[in-house]
A and B are shown apart, each in its own frame.
Chain A
Amino acid sequence: MPDQLIFAMEVFLNGLMAGVLYALVALGFVLIYKASGIFNYAQGVMALFAAMTLVGIMNGQVPFAHLINATFGTHIHKFGWNVPAFVAIILTMGVMVLLAWAVQRFVMRHLVGQEPIILFMATIGLAYFLEGVADLMWGSEIKTLDVGLPQGINLWIDETTFNIFGYGFFIDNLDLVATVIAALLVTALVAFSQYTKQGRAMRAVADDHQAALSVGISLNFIWIMVWSVAGFVALVAGIMWGTKSGVQFSLSLIALKALPVLMLGGFTSIPGAIVGGLIIGVGEKLFEFAIGPLVGGATENWFAYVLALIFLVFRPQGLFGEKIIERV
C-alpha cells in the first residue's frame, strides 16, 4: 500500500477520534435546545467552568482567593488538602446543579416567551459572566487536569497496524476512552429520554410548553433538570478536553467548533450531533492533510464553518433535523 494512503488512513482515524470530542460538546447543545428551544452558547464555557472547578476542588484551592487577597491583604491560596478525583467529580456535579438552578431562577425564567435570538444573546452574556466568574474563582493560569484516565500512544494498535501495513498508527488512549464514554453517554441519554418518567416529561415540554403545563408537568423542574444534564455533559467534555490539552481559556472556544457540528447534524437530533461531529472531525483533518500544505496550513480554524455554511445552503435543517415549516 502506498505511504500516502496509509498516512491518510491514520489521519482519518484521528479525525474520527477528534470528532467524538466535538460531538460530546455538541450533545450538551442539543439537549438544551430540544427541551427549551434555547440555543445555549454558554455550553463551552460551562465545560471550562466545570473543568476549572474540578481542578480547583481536587487541588484544594480556595475559591476567589485572588479577590480575597486583593481586598483584605491576606495571602491564602490553598486549604492544604487534596480531594480524590471521584469525590471531586461528584462535588463538581453538585456545583453544576447549583449553576443550573441559578441560571433557571435568575435568567431563563425572566425570558420565557422571548424570541429565540434574544435567548441566544442572553446565553452569550451568560458565557461572558461564567468565564469571568470562573477566572475570579480559580485563577486564569493554565492548569493540568489528571483524573486518572489513560493517556499516550495505544501500543496494541501501534503493533497490530505495524504488522499489517508495516507502519504503526498513532492513536491516543485518551481518544479511545473518550469514544467509549461518548457511546455510553449517548446510550444513557437516549434511554433516559425514552424510558423514564422525567425523560418523557422533558420531551413533552420540548413539544409544547403549555400542553405540558396543563397535564401537570413542572416547567421549572424540567428546565433545572435539563440544565443540570447539560452541565453533566459539559463536565464530561471538560474532563476529556482538559486532560487532553490542559484547562485553559481555549476550552471555551471548542463550543464554537461545536456549532458547525450542530448545523450539519441538525439542532434537534442526538444521533445528528454524533454523525456531524464525526464528519467535521474527519473532514477537517483530511482537508488539512491534503490541501493544508498548499494554502499555508491551519485550515482547521475555518474548514468546519465553511463546510457547514455550504451544506446549509442546500439543506437548511441539517442532516437529521426536523423539517422547517414556516407559516405567516
Chain B
Amino acid sequence: MFYREAGDFKTSYTDDSQTFPIKFDRYRYYVVLAVAFGIIPFVINDYWANALLLPFLIYAIAAIGLNILVGYCGQVSLGTGGFMAVGAYACYKLMTSFPDVSMFIHVILAGGITAIVGVLFGLPSLRIKGFYLAVATLAAQFFLVWLFNRVPWFYNYSASGQINAPERDVFGIIITGPNAPAWATYLFCLIFLAVSALIARNLTRGTTGRTWMAIRDMDIAAEIIGVNPLKAKMSAFAVSSFFIGIAGALFFAVYLGAVEVGEVFGIQKSFLVLFMIIIGGLGSIFGSFAGAAFLVLLPVVLKVVGVDVLGWPTDIVAHLQLVIVGALIIMFLILEPHGLAQLWRVAKEKLRLWPFPH
C-alpha cells in the first residue's frame, strides 16, 4: 500500500541515480537518521550506550569494511582483529604524541595507517586466491597481535603492556576516558558510521564497486574484459582496512578505553566480524548493519533470558551462545546464503505488491 514506485517520477539524471531511488525508502532513511541524531542522544544512558549502541555502531563500521573486501571483492580475510588492532594502536600513538589535535583527525589518520598496512598484507592476494588467501591473512592477524604485544614502543613502555586512552575532547566535549558522557561518545561513533556507510554505499554503486564485483564473480574473466586486478584488489584492501582501522580506533579509544591486544583483538574478533557479514548478508551495506545488530543483541538477549530469567550459570549460557551462533551460521548458509539483507529484500518485494498479489 505505502511501499510503491508508482507515481514517483524522475525528471532529471540526478534524481534517477540517487542513493535511494524509491521515495518511501528515502523518507524511511531520513526518519532513521533523524531519530539516530535527534532523539537518541537525549534519551541515552550509560547502560544502553555501553551494552548495545556503541558496540553496534563500531561493529557496523568494521562489518561494512569487511563486507567490502569479502562480500564485494570476494577476498576472504581472517585478519580483521589484527587490522582493528592497527587502528587502535595507531590512534593511541597519535593521541599521546599530539594531544592537542582533534580526535576526528586522529581516528581518520588511524584509518589511513591501517589502510597502508592492509594493502601491504593484501599484496599476496594477487598471487593466491580463495581460502589460501584466508589462511594467508591469518599471518597478518597473528603477526600484528604479536608485534603490539612485544614491541614496547607501541604501548609507550607502560608496565602492564596495556594501552589506556587519555582524556581527549572534540570542540570542548570530552569523548574519551572515563568522564566522557554517553551521548557524546554515541554521537561521535554515529557520525563515523553514517559517513562510512554513505561512502561505502556510493563506492559500491560506482565504477570501483563494479570492478570489485567483477573480480569477485570471476577474476580471470574480469581481467580479460579490462579490469585491472591490481588496482581493484588493492583498492578493496585499502578501503576495507580504512574502515576496519576506524572501527578499531573507536573500539579502543571511545568504547573500551583500555586494551590488552591479545584479548581484545584476537582471532575471535576476526571470526565475530566475519559472522556478522555472513548472517547479515555478503555484498550488502544494509546487511552489515543487520549482522552487527544481530550479533551484538544475541549475547545480551541470551544473558537476559538464560541468566536472569532461567537462572543458569553464566558459563552454560556462554557455551549455549557458541552452539547457537554456530548453528545459525550453518542455517543461514544453507537456507539463505545472502543473509538477513536478502530476507529484507524479499519482504520489500512482497510489500510492493501488497495487498494485491498480482
Residue of B nearest to A134 (CB): B319
Residue of A nearest to B142 (CB): A302
Would A312 and B128 be within 8 Å (CB), given that A136-B320, A256-B267 are in contact?
yes
Provide the residues of chain B in CB contact with A140, threshold 8 Å: 315, 319
**In the assembled complex, A215 has its CB within 8 A of some CB on chain B:** no
**In the assembled complex, A197 has its CB within 8 A of some CB on chain B:** no
Q: Is the CB of B128 within 8 A of A313?
A: yes
Would A133 and B323 be within 8 Å (CB), given that A120-B131, A124-B329, A328-B218 are in contact?
yes
> How long is the Cα–Cα vector from A263 to B130 in the complex, in angstroms?
12
Q: Is the CB of A136 within 8 A of B128?
A: no
Provide the residues of chain A in CB contact with B143, threshold 8 Å: 302, 305-306
Would A127 and B220 be within 8 Å (CB), given that A140-B319, A308-B135, A308-B136 are in contact?
no
Provide the residues of chain B in CB contact with A70, threshold 8 Å: 310-313, 316
Q: Is the CB of A136 within 8 A of B319?
A: yes
Which of A295, A302, A328 gathers most chain B CB within 10 Å?
A302
**In the assembled complex, A217 has its CB within 8 A of some CB on chain B:** no
Stretch from A16-24, A107-115, A271-279 at the B interface = A107-115
Residue-wise, chain B 264-301 has the 8 Å CB interface mask toward A (1 for contact) of 00010001001100100000000000000000000000
In chain B, positions 125-148 with a C-beta closer than 8 Å to chain A are: 127-132, 134-136, 138-139, 141-143, 145-146
Q: Is the CB of B142 within 8 A of A313?
A: no
**In the assembled complex, A122 has its CB within 8 A of some CB on chain B:** yes
Shortest B277–chain A CB gap in Å is 10
**In the assembled complex, A209 has its CB within 8 A of some CB on chain B:** no
> How long is the Cα–Cα vector from A309 to B82 in the complex, in angstroms?
16
In chain B, positions 206-227 with a C-beta closer than 8 Å to chain A are: 218, 220-221, 224
In chain B, positions 159-174 with a C-beta closer than 8 Å to chain A are: none
Q: Is the CB of B322 within 8 A of A129?
A: yes
> How long is the Cα–Cα vector from A305 to B323 in the complex, in angstroms?
28
Q: Is the CB of B146 within 8 A of A302?
A: yes
Residue of A nearest to B135 (CB): A259
Provide the residues of chain A in CB contact with B124, threshold 8 Å: 309, 312-313
Shortest B127–chain A CB gap in Å is 5
> How long is the Cα–Cα vector from A313 to B122 in the complex, in angstroms?
12
In chain B, positions 96-143 with a C-beta closer than 8 Å to chain A are: 124, 127-132, 134-136, 138-139, 141-143
Candidates B132, B135, B278, B310; contact of A121 at CB < 8 Å: B278
Interface size on A, residues (CB 8 A): 50
Provide the residues of chain A in CB contact with B275, threshold 8 Å: 125
Stretch from B47-55, B178-186, B330-338 at the A interface = B330-338
Q: Is the CB of B131 within 8 A of A132?
A: no
> How long is the Cα–Cα vector from A327 to B224 in the complex, in angstroms?
12
> How long is the Cα–Cα vector from A313 to B319 in the complex, in angstroms?
39
Residue of A nearest to B70 (CB): A117
> How long is the Cα–Cα vector from A260 to B324 in the complex, in angstroms?
29
Which of A117, A126, A296 gathers most chain B CB within 10 Å?
A117
**In the assembled complex, A60 has its CB within 8 A of some CB on chain B:** no
Shortest A267–chain B CB gap in Å is 8
Residue-wise, chain B 178-205 has the 8 Å CB interface mask toward A (1 for contact) of 0000000000000000000000000000
> How long is the Cα–Cα vector from A71 to B124 in the complex, in angstroms?
51
Q: Is the CB of A305 within 8 A of B326?
A: no
Shortest B247–chain A CB gap in Å is 21
**In the assembled complex, A3 has its CB within 8 A of some CB on chain B:** no
**In the assembled complex, B40 has its CB within 8 A of some CB on chain A:** no
> How long is the Cα–Cα vector from A326 to B223 in the complex, in angstroms?
13
> How long is the Cα–Cα vector from A328 to B224 in the complex, in angstroms?
9
Would A301 and B334 be within 8 Å (CB), given that A67-B316, A136-B320, A313-B124 are in contact?
no
**In the assembled complex, B150 has its CB within 8 A of some CB on chain A:** yes
**In the assembled complex, A101 has its CB within 8 A of some CB on chain B:** no
Provide the residues of chain B in CB contact with A117, threshold 8 Å: 74, 76, 130-131, 134
Shortest A324–chain B CB gap in Å is 8
**In the assembled complex, A168 has its CB within 8 A of some CB on chain B:** no
**In the assembled complex, B35 has its CB within 8 A of some CB on chain A:** no
**In the assembled complex, B342 has its CB within 8 A of some CB on chain A:** no
Residue of B nearest to A131 (CB): B322
> How long is the Cα–Cα vector from A39 to B321 in the complex, in angstroms?
24
Q: Is the CB of A132 within 8 A of B326?
A: yes
Residue-wise, chain A 249-260 has the 8 Å CB interface mask toward B (1 for contact) of 000000010011
Q: Is the CB of A129 within 8 A of B327?
A: yes
Q: Is the CB of A122 within 8 A of B130?
A: no
Q: Is the CB of B322 within 8 A of A312?
A: no
Provide the residues of chain B in CB contact with A313, threshold 8 Å: 124, 127-128
Would A121 and B333 be within 8 Å (CB), given that A129-B327, A306-B139 are in contact?
yes
Query: Which residues of A line the B interface, CB within 8 A?
Result: 39, 66-67, 70-71, 107, 110-111, 114, 116-118, 120-122, 124-133, 135-136, 140, 256, 259-260, 262-263, 295-299, 301-302, 305-306, 308-309, 312-313, 316, 326-328
Query: Which residues of B line the A interface, CB within 8 A?
Result: 74, 76, 124, 127-132, 134-136, 138-139, 141-143, 145-146, 149-151, 218, 220-221, 224, 267, 271, 274-275, 278, 310-313, 315-316, 319-330, 333-334, 337
Q: A70-B316, A114-B333, A305-B141 are in contact. List 13 more A-B contacts (CB 8 A).
A: A121-B274, A122-B333, A124-B271, A256-B267, A260-B135, A297-B150, A298-B146, A301-B145, A301-B146, A302-B143, A305-B135, A305-B136, A328-B218
18 A-B contacts (beta carbon < 8 Å):
A66-B315, A116-B130, A122-B329, A124-B329, A125-B328, A128-B323, A129-B323, A135-B319, A263-B135, A296-B150, A298-B150, A299-B146, A305-B139, A308-B135, A312-B124, A312-B127, A316-B127, A328-B218
The 8 closest A-B pairs by CB, nearest first: A129-B326, A125-B329, A132-B322, A128-B326, A132-B323, A305-B139, A296-B150, A302-B142
